[in-house]
A = this chain, B = another copy of it.
Amino acid sequence: MKIIESTDAAHAHVRRRTGKSVLVPTMGALHRGHLELIRVAREHAGNAGEVAVSIFVNPLQFEPGSDFEKYPRPESADEKFCEDAGVNLLFRPRQMYFDDRSVYVEETRLSAGLCGASRPGHFQGVCTVVAKLFNLLAPAATVFGEKDYQQLAVIRRMVRDLNFPIEIIGVPTVREADGLALSSRNQYLSADERAAAPALYQAMLRVKELAAGGENSVSKLIDVAKEVVSPAKRARIDYITIVDAENLEPLENLRPNALIALAVFVGETRLIDNLRLT
């Protein structure tokens, strides 16, 4: 496995590279969810192709007061993880921004609601760093988890609107046995909080059941989700919403392509998840 730690070396690598490269952008603290992204990337790259993983805890996508400082950075474990997973290139840049940086990529519609409303500047940070990674590593395709559904939608839109010649591959969420979506932030949870966290998935499943049974009113479905989540220990709802899965507009009544998305603080840890309802 080749390791690259500078932007210049990334450009030089791309100039010499032959064959198809598939990129898995991450912030590290790698877990089984990432392993699934790497597996899908390998499937698309083929054995002769390159699977590249980037690890960069991107300061621009952490809103003020959030967990940038404490975000886990298990560098040597992540390196071994990539090696064991058969990754060809690990891009672990030491420096991504100039102090006098002044150029940003902004998505103005899909990023307005959901997590974008709670985390001002988050998606501008995501778009900017992903555009940089695309320019640095020139992948033919890139893999994103559906757990961060809004992020996936925003990146798809960025690729379309800025004409990046890159295929975007969404990968279904990997869950623990009790339904909790895998996330690097799960390690923040105390034992009590961990026990409470599956309420997010249970709430979404309950809503999906009711929807399958014919309940059509979004406000009623959201009330049910709140009733499932609220009693969970130390849980505080940031948002629970049902949107069109394409344009992320909130729905009043269920229709094909509906998606439930939620963000819940469990203790100090903000967890997100989502599920297709139809």
Contacts and interface: CB of A to CB of B under 8 A. Distances in A.
A194 interface: no
A157 interface: yes
A102 B98 contact: no
A110 interface: yes
Given A11-B165, A138-B165, A163-B136, A103 B102 contact: no
Interface stretch (A127-135, A142-150, A172-180, A230-238): A127-135
A2 interface: no
Contacts of A103: 105-108, 127, 157-158, 160-162
Given A131-B162, A138-B165, A165-B135, A109 B105 contact: no
Interface string A62-106: 000000000000000000000000000000000001101111111
A109 B102 contact: yes
Interface in A149-190: 157-158, 160-165
Given A7-B163, A135-B164, A104 B102 contact: no
A266 B105 CA distance: 36
Contacts of A109: 100, 102
Q: Is the interface of A mostly helix, strand, loop or mixed?
A: mixed
A14 interface: yes
Contacts of A161: 97-98, 101-103, 132
Contacts of A247: 100
A246 to B, nearest CB: 10
A274 B11 CA distance: 34
A162 B132 contact: yes
Closest 4 CB pairs of A and B: A103-B161, A102-B109, A135-B163, A102-B108
17 contacts: A10-B163, A11-B163, A14-B165, A100-B247, A102-B157, A103-B105, A103-B106, A103-B108, A103-B157, A103-B160, A104-B105, A105-B162, A106-B106, A132-B162, A135-B163, A136-B163, A138-B165
Given A15-B165, A100-B247, 10 more contacts: A97-B161, A98-B160, A103-B105, A103-B107, A103-B160, A105-B105, A106-B106, A128-B162, A132-B162, A136-B163
Interface of A: 7, 10-11, 14-15, 97-98, 100-110, 127-128, 131-132, 135-136, 138, 157-158, 160-165, 247
